[in-house]
Amino acid sequence: MTRAQAAAWATIAAIAGAAALYYIFANVSPYAAEGVLNVPAVVGLFSALLLFSTGLCTVGVLALHERWPALAGVNSRQPGATPAPEAALRQGILLALALTTLLALSALSLLDPAFVLVALLITVLIEGLWQVRPFGRG
């Protein structure tokens, strides 16, 4: 996959997520007719938010990798070494999962500063493990 393809897919994901968020906010009530919480609507909201934030985070990480390729695990001492776009996709998904998890905890009134630190720490540790032990490669 090239950088342009990764940026295109991330942009498509962000646009699709934004369209889904708009549809849910404009047309779907968070409460059913009986007055109980509409669980499919809430799940759809968080799914659309995850898709939107994945696209935005991936585009942002792609821009960061241009300036600092070491964030993608590239050794800067090797001449001509460029970061793989797959690393930006992976990091964008991880960051979006962390942000959506924090938003879900906030919506449930369970968000605490310790949870913020733990969620971000787990995200960084997963990415560090992936860079040290690249899964899926022989």
**Which amino acid is residue 82, in one-letter code?**
T
Taking the complete model, does pTM exceed 0.75, yes or no?
A: yes
Q: Is residue 137 part of a domain?
A: no
For residue 119, is it within any domain? yes
pLDDT, tens digit, 9 for 90 and up, residues 89-134: 999 999 999 999 999 999 889 999 999 999 999 999 999 888 888 6
- Domain limits at 99? 3-132
Q: For residue range 60-88, list pLDDT tens digits in order.
A: 999 998 888 888 888 767 777 788 889 89
- How many structural domains comprise the chain? 1
Is 70 a domain residue? yes
Q: What is the pLDDT of residues 26-47, one digit of tens each?
A: 999 888 888 898 899 999 999 9
Using an 8 Å Cβ cutoff, are 92 and 63 in contact? no
CA–CA distances in Å: residue 56 to residues 43, 53, 106, 119, 123: 20, 5, 21, 19, 17
Q: Is residue 115 part of a domain?
A: yes
- Domain-located, residue 81: yes
Residue 53 lies in a domain: yes
- 138 part of a folded domain: no
Number of helices (H), then strands (E), in the chain? 4, 0
